[in-house]
C-alpha cells in the first residue's frame, strides 16, 4: 500500500509540472532548437539552420543575432548576456560574439590546426593559463593559447575511436583542476591541464558509454548517459547508479534564488528532478528533451518531434520555484520518525540535520561514508517526542558522499549528505 501511495504522489506532481510548461514560439524560424544557454535574465537559443536568437524577457520576444555568422547550424552555445562575449560552436567552426560593437558580429576562432570545424563544445578555461578548448565531432579535443591568432593543438592522449566524438566538458577548480569529458565512448578525466585523459568507465557498458552530460563537484562526478544517470567518488573506478535504463540528453543544476533550494534535473526521453540525489520525482514533459538551461527564475527546455509519441518539437519554460517547491514539500507519512534533508547540502564546514518523533524513543543518528564505514555518532540515547536539530561539523572530512542514518526501535530512515 505504501508503494502505491508513493507512485500516486509522483504522478500527481508530474501532472502538475506538465500543466505549467509554457510554449515559447520563436518567429521567423523553421529549424529545431538544439542548444540553449541562459544566465540571469538572458536566454540564448541556437537552431540547426536558423542561427542564434536571444531574449531578455524569458522568451516573450526574440532578437535574431545571427548577423554575419557564416554557418547557422548551431551545435553549442555558452552566453551570459549580449554585453559580454558569448561562445558559439557551429558545424562550420567556433565563433565568439559580443566583443565587436553591435550584436550579430562574430570573430572566427577557427585559427589553424583544426582538422574538423564541426564544433560540439567551445570554452575558455581561465583556470588553466587562459587556454581555449574545443570539442569536435569525431576528431576529439583541441586547445589553443589565448592569442589573437589561435593555433589549435590536439589534446587527445588517452582518447580513441568513439571517444573522439565529444559531447561536453565540465570541471572543478581546486588545488588540482579536475575535468570530465563526455564522449560517445564513455567519460574521461584529466587533472594535468588536458595533457592526457584517463578512462573512468569501470562498470559502464552499452548505452551507458554514450555520455551526454557531467557535473563535477569536487571529488563527486555526476553523469547522464543514454543508459541512465550515475555518480562516482573515485574518478570513475566505481559508479553508483542513480537512475537506470533511461536515455538522458541533458543534466542541469539549478538554484531557486527565492528559497535558496537547489535541484538536479536529469532530462531526456524521460525526465526526473531531485534535491537530494535520493528521491527522484518524474517530470512529464511535452516530448524528449534535447537541450536545457536555466535563468535566474525559469527552466527552459527544447524538445524534439517524434512520430511514435505524436509530439512536435518546441521550446518551453517553467518557473524553477514551481518544481523545487513541490519536491521540497514534505510528504505525508505514517512513520513515527522522520529525518529531514540536511541544510546546507552540499556543505563545506558544517550542516544541520533535523529529525522529528511522534513518540519518545531510543534514537541513534550516525554518519557513514559511501563504503558503509561509520564516521561519527551524533545521537545515541533517549529523545522526547517532537522536533530535534543536531549539527554535524567536520571540516577535515574528505569531500564526497555520506549517509545520515536515523534509527529508532521500529523505524530506520536515511539521507545523503554531500561534502564539498
- Together in a domain, 197 and 322: yes
Average pLDDT of 140-165?
95
Helices 2-19 and 320-328: crossing angle in degrees, nearest 10, is 170
Alpha-carbon gap, residue 184 to 371, rounded angstroms: 30
User: Which three cell numbers mark 348?
Assistant: 563545506
Q: What is the pLDDT of residue 372?
A: 67
Residues 100 and 193 in one domain: yes
Residue 376 CB neighbours (<10 A): 13
Which range of residues forms the domain containing residue 250?
2-328
Q: Is the pLDDT of residue 414 over 90?
A: no
Across the range 161-174, mean pLDDT stands at 94
Predicted confidence at residue 3, as pLDDT, reads 28
Please tell me whether residues 275 and 398 are part of one structural domain.
Answer: no
Query: How confident is residue 309, by pLDDT bands cut at 50, 70 and 90?
Result: low
Amino acid 184: pLDDT: 99
DSSP 331: P
Task: Of 318, 300, 331, 224, give the one whose Cα is nearest residue 21.
Answer: 318
- What is the C-alpha separation between 220 and 216, in angstroms, rounded? 6
Reading phi first (left if > 0) and then psi (alpha if -120 to 50, else beta), residue 265 is in beta
Same domain, 292 and 408: no
Is residue 127 pLDDT above 80, yes or no?
Answer: no
pLDDT at 129: 64
Question: DSSP secondary-structure letter at 164?
Answer: G
Q: Which of 251, 263, 248, 246 is nearest to 319 (CA)?
A: 263
Q: What pLDDT does residue 402 have?
A: 85
Provide mean pLDDT across the span 70-90: 89
pLDDT of 187 above 80: yes
Determine the pLDDT at residue 103. Answer: 64
Q: Mind listing the pLDDT tens digit for each residue in 220-254?
A: 899 999 999 999 989 999 999 999 999 999 999 98
Is the pLDDT assigned to residue 35 strictly greater than 50? yes
When pLDDT is averaged across residues 51-73 and rounded to a whole number, the result is 95
- Dig out the grid coordinates for 245 from the structure: 535504463
Q: How confident is the model at residue 4 (pLDDT cuts 50, 70, 90)?
A: very low
Grid look-up 559502464 returns 204
Regarding whether 368 and 306 lie in a shared domain, the answer is no
CA distances from residue 367 to 121, 347, 401 in whole angstroms, order as listed: 40, 14, 11
Predicted confidence (pLDDT) per residue in 351-377, tens digit = 999 999 999 999 999 998 766 678 899
Specify the 3-state DSSP secondary structure of 11.
Answer: helix
Using one digit for the tens of pLDDT, what is the confidence trace for 376-407? 999 999 999 999 999 999 878 888 888 888 98
Say which residues have a Cβ less than 8 Å from residue 363's Cβ, sequence separation at least 6: 337, 355, 357, 379, 380, 381, 382, 383, 406, 407, 408
Q: Which of 293, 328, 363 is the last residue of a domain?
A: 328
Average pLDDT over residues 203-220: 95
Q: Per the structure, how many domains does the chain have? A: 2
**Same domain assignment for residues 95 and 184:** yes
Return the bridge partners of 115, or none: none
Percent of the chain with pLDDT over 70: 87
> For residue 41, what pLDDT band results from cuts at 50, 70 and 90?
confident
Is 259 in the same domain as 304? yes
Looking at the chain, the number of H-run helices and the number of E-run strands are 2, 35
Q: What is the pLDDT of residue 325?
A: 72
SS3 label, residue 209: helix
| CA separation for the pair 159, 252 (Å, rounded) | 26
Same domain, 202 and 256: yes
Return the top range by mean pLDDT from 154-168, 171-185, 282-296, 313-327.
154-168
Q: Please tell me whether the peptide bond between 168 and the residue prior to it is cis, using omega within 30 degrees of 0.
A: no
Same domain, yes or no, for 18 and 121? Answer: yes
346 contact partners, CB below 8 Å, separation of at least 6: 217, 418, 419, 420
Name residue, grid cell 530506520.
412
Question: Comparing 223 with 218, which gets the higher pLDDT?
Answer: 223
Distance of CA 177 to the CA centre of its chain: 19
State the residue for C-alpha cell 538572458: 42
Burial class (CB in 10 A: 0-12, 13-18, 19+), 119: buried
The residue among 274, 306, 328 that closes a domain is 328
pLDDT category of residue 14 using cuts at 50, 70 and 90: very low
Q: What is the CATH number of the domain that holds 365?
A: 2.60.40.1930
CATH of the domain at 46: 2.130.10.10
pLDDT in tens, 84-123: 789 999 999 999 998 765 567 899 999 999 999 999 999 9
Burial 237-269 (b: 16+ CB within 10 A, else e): eebeebbeebbbbbbbebebeeeebbbbbbbbb
Report in angstroms the alpha-carbon separations of 353 from 56, 340, 361, 379: 39, 7, 18, 11
Residues 306 and 376 in one domain: no
Model confidence pLDDT, tens digit, residues 332-350: 445 678 899 899 988 888 9
- DSSP three-state, residue 27: coil
Distance CA 220, CA 75 (A): 27
Same domain, 318 and 393: no
Domain boundary among 280, 309, 328: 328
- The predicted pLDDT at position 102 comes to 58
At 266, the pLDDT band (50, 70, 90 cuts) reads: very high
Bridge partner list, 243: 229
Average pLDDT over residues 147-164: 95
Same structural domain, 129 and 244: yes
Amino acid at each position: 500500500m505504501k508503494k502505491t501511495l508513493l507512485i500516486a504522489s509522483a504522478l500527481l506532481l508530474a501532472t502538475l509540472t506538465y500543466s505549467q510548461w509554457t510554449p515559447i514560439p520563436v518567429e521567423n524560424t523553421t529549424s529545431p532548437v538544439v542548444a540553449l544557454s541562459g544566465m540571469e535574465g538572458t536566454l540564448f537559443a541556437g537552431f540547426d539552420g536558423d542561427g542564434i536568437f536571444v531574449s531578455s524577457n524569458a522568451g516573450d520576444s526574440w532578437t535574431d543575432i545571427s548577423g554575419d555568422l557564416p554557418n547557422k547550424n548551431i551545435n553549442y552555445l555558452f552566453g551570459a548576456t549580449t554585453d559580454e562575449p558569448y561562445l558559439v560552436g557551429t558545424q562550420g567552426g567556433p565563433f565568439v560574439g559580443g566583443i565587436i560593437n553591435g550584436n550579430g558580429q562574430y570573430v572566427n576562432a577557427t585559427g589553424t590546426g583544426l582538422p574538423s570545424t564541426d564544433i560540439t563544445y567551445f570554452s575558455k578555461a581561465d583556470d588553466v593559463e587562459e587556454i581555449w578548448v574545443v570539442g569536435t565531432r569525431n576528431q576529439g579535443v583541441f586547445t589553443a593559447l589565448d592569442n589573437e591568432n589561435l593555433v589549435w593543438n590536439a589534446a587527445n592522449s588517452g582518447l580513441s575511436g568513439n571517444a573522439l566524438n565529444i559531447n561536453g566538458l565540465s570541471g572543478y577548480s581546486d588545488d588540482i583542476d579536475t575535468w570530465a569529458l563526455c564522449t560517445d565512448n564513455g567519460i574521461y578525466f584529466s587533472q594535468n591541464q588536458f595533457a592526457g585523459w584517463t578512462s573512468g568507465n569501470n562498470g559502464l557498458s552499452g548505452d551507458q558509454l554514450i555520455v551526454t552530460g557531467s557535473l563535477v563537484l569536487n571529488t563527486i562526478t555526476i553523469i547522464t548517459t543514454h543508459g541512465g544517470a550515475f555518480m562516482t567518488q573515485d574518478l570513475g573506478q566505481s559508479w553508483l547508479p542513480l537512475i537506470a535504463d533511461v536515455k538522458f540528453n541533458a543534466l542541469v543544476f539549478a538554484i531557486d534564488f527565492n528559497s535558496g533550494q537547489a535541484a538536479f534535473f536529469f532530462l531526456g526521453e524521460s525526465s526526473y528532478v531531485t534535491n537530494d540525489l535520493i528521491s527522484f520525482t518524474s517530470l512529464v514533459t511535452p516530448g524528449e528533451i534535447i537541450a536545457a538551461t536555466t535563468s535566474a527564475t525559469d527552466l527552459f527546455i527544447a524538445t524534439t518531434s517524434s512520430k511514435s509519441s505524436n509530439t512536435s518539437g518546441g521550446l518551453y519554460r517553467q518557473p524553477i520555484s514551481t518544481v523545487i517547491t513541490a519536491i521540497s514539500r514534505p510528504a505525508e507519512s505514517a512513520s513515527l520518525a522522520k529525518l529531514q534533508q540536511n541544510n546546507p547540502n552540499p556543505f563545506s564546514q558544517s550542516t544541520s540535520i533535523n529529525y522529528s518523533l511522534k513518540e519518545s524513543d531510543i534514537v541513534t543518528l550516525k554518519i557513514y561514508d559511501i563504503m558503509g564505514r561509520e564516521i561519527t555518532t551524533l545521537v545515541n540515547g533517549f529523545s522526547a517526542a517532537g522536533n530535534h536539530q543536531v549539527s554535524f561539523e567536520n571540516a577535515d572530512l574528505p569531500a564526497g558522499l555520506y549517509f545520515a542514518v536515523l534509527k529508532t526501535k521500529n523505524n530506520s530512515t536515511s539521507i545523503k549528505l554531500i561534502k564539498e
